[in-house]
Chains A and B, each alone.
Chain A
């Protein structure tokens, strides 16, 4: 029977949860082999997207990314990781945001960068 990406993602998630983080590489390795045996490697993108959805169901949030003009202080990074336990938290530095930071939590963005504020000001002045 053909399994869809969501079912595969659920299976992978359940297995990782049961075996714990220490066996992560083994589980993912076995999963990739399983896909390869079934000639379904082309599904990997869909599985990753579905995994996000499954992750979101379980933890409420799947991905958090922070873009800031300067490197985040260590305490802040730690606080973020504690706040979003079990979620992948990435932070990147981009000079073109000028200042402040923007936080993306799955499909929501809170943009507090200077660049966004300047754009808002520009829009207001034009209109």
Chain B
């Protein structure tokens, strides 16, 4: 009891001290008047010295951001409910540029784009404020991508490797597993020292609840922050959500940490921006998007970077997601984002329904800089994989018409079928890279040639169990050396042959 009363007295004493030390000064504030309000935006008069992106405070306490600065009026977005704002209300300029409260305590939390927690786990004490709009790191502070970011998905790590600091677009129609690829990548970062941020833009809250539950189940929430702008939130929230997410990322990057950020998805972000722009009467362009819709995404994605050692050596890897309509990658927003990013993972509905999951189109998917980041061992094992798969696809189409095939072609087709089968992977089951290497090695070296195509999955599970059980040393060596030395190759070949015998 004694300690309790002491605490109470302490609090009272500290309050008294603060009240005594308080000096009220009347400062000059800039104000304006609401001319009109509608659907998340407001037109204001006055505020002659307001800055772009400055935070505003409406009479009912709602925040806003000044976006359009015109000669005699200001167009602002309202970050909250507009029903409490009336024409003629006073609006105050706060003098602060829109910023995001950030701290280490953000990991493991679900927040809205203003940094307010939505998960009911209490307040987040902010240590710093990072501006939501910030100029991307310059050329001299950057370093080329050189460290891999393992997604844990065989098809991606082998064929379209991603490096830390890269921007790799995930593109595909609805229901092709775009979010699944991103979530698996987040799950695979466990123990890799990568902080993850998942930005949900205009998503259904039920979907996000499911994702958060899955991440918690996989112990991935402890290093992940979810920034949520739900489908029922105003368009202004969807518009600032990715910038808020990357502001959190920049906080960790400045500390020298590696960050993975997923923007799910930028199509909805462009819609939100279009809505705001049209309401603010900016001139519409192609597909009614405003003229600066390219800049909208380029300035966001440019903030992903790998900093050099002199600047802390941190990185932000971005996985933006774009939803296409019936496979049309040549629409306005998809082409824009494809041109900004360092490659794309293209997911296809046809492949998805044929049971090839992840439904990756190997021909259209590329990684422009990730090759430099791929581990030597994976490079050696998977080097010819893309070519073999491409040839297989061509031959397979040809083989549908021709019945008589020479042995060489038949072998290539059979190998291709097994490869395709081997690249299939279950959701929420990312794989360490040494196991991926072992599996791909088994196929490319022909150990699976005599296994029936429909039994390849079974073979893979068995092989991995065998390696984990009897050849743990070999897996460990592969993980440490990250190179396909003669010794490792020999041992791996021997292990595969041994297991093939057992399997048969």
Contacts and interface: CB of A to CB of B under 8 A. Distances in A.
A121 B19 contact: yes
A109 B31 contact: yes
Interface residues of B, number: 20
A109 B72 contact: no
Interface stretch (B40-48, B212-220, B349-357): B40-48
Interface stretch (A11-19, A23-31, A79-87, A100-108): A100-108
A104 B30 CA distance: 9
B295 to A, nearest CB: 30
B26 A108 contact: no
B18 A109 contact: no
A124 B46 CA distance: 28
Contacts of B19: 121, 125
B401 interface: no
B31 A120 contact: no
B29 interface: yes
A94 to B, nearest CB: 13
Tell me the interface secondary structure of chain A in the complex: helix
A104 B32 CA distance: 10
Contacts of A120: 22, 24
The bracket for how many chain A residues form the interface is: 10 to 19
B24 A110 contact: no
Which residue among B24, B30, B31, B45 has the maximum number of chain A CB atoms within 10 Å of its CB?
B24
B480 interface: no
A89 interface: no
Interface in B19-53: 19, 22, 24, 26-32, 35, 45-48
A40 interface: no
A110 B28 contact: yes
Contacts of A50: 72
B18 A108 contact: no
Contacts of A78: none
B452 interface: no
B48 A107 contact: yes
A107 B32 contact: yes
A110 B26 contact: yes
B26 A125 contact: no
Contact of B26 (A49, A107, A112, A121): A112
Given A112-B26, A121-B19, A125-B15, A106 B72 contact: no
Given A53-B72, A125-B15, A106 B22 contact: no
B30 A108 contact: yes
Contacts of B29: 108-111
Contact of B45 (A49, A110, A116, A125): A49
A33 interface: no
A116 B26 CA distance: 9
B30 A124 contact: no
A49 B36 CA distance: 13
A49 B72 contact: yes
A116 B92 CA distance: 13
Interface in B90-139: 90, 92
Nearest to B14: A125
A107 B72 contact: no
A13 to B, nearest CB: 15
B24 A107 contact: no
A125 B15 CA distance: 8
4 smallest beta-carbon distances between A and B, as pairs: A107-B46, A117-B24, A112-B26, A109-B31
Interface of B: 15, 18-19, 22, 24, 26-32, 35, 45-48, 72, 90, 92
8 contacts: A6-B72, A107-B32, A107-B47, A108-B31, A109-B29, A109-B90, A117-B24, A121-B22
